[in-house]
Amino acid sequence: MKAVQASSALVRVANNDREPEAAVLAQQRGLNRGGRPKGVRNKATREFRETVQRLLEDNADNVALWLRQVAEGVPAVLRADGTVLHAARPPSPEVALLRLAALAEFAAPRLSRAEVTGEAGGPLTIVVQRLG
């Protein structure tokens, strides 16, 4: 496969009939000639998100308890002889909120922000027309 520089974009050129001319033209125009449609997640990503969502749904009570313990803190756990088995954790509602947000990213996709403006970045003008 040879490559040539054309209008500041690298364009592949058909070589020895291995790549049909139509495919080269489609690539030059930025068309997706095969593979996964734009915006569709790959199978591994989809399956991973589904698995995490099922895990969260099946353990909703445990997740709620864990977040409550992080938010409210937990007392120290002592052995019978009085030595500390697990140290106390102070309340941290901020950390609980951050962990909840991190878990939510697996269950729901993060939405991107978009600003809608009018011509040349000015105010948006909406025209309503009645039909009939």
| Portion of the chain with pLDDT greater than 70, in percent | 73
> Which residues make Cβ contacts (< 8 Å) with residue 107, sequence separation at least 6?
49, 52, 53, 56
The pTM assigned to this predicted structure is: 0.47
Q: What is the pLDDT of residues 48-75, one digit of tens each?
A: 888 888 888 899 999 999 999 999 999 9
Quote the mean pLDDT of the chain.
Answer: 79
Q: What is the pLDDT of residue 96?
A: 94
Give the span between the Cα atoms of 10 and 22, in whole angstroms.
Answer: 17
Say which residue, 28 or 76, is predicted with more confidence. Answer: 76
pLDDT band at 15 (very low <50, low <70, confident <90, very high): very low
What mean pLDDT is predicted for residues 97-125? 82
How far are the Cα atoms of 83, 84, 85, 87, 88 from residue 80, in angstroms, in the given order? 8, 9, 10, 15, 16
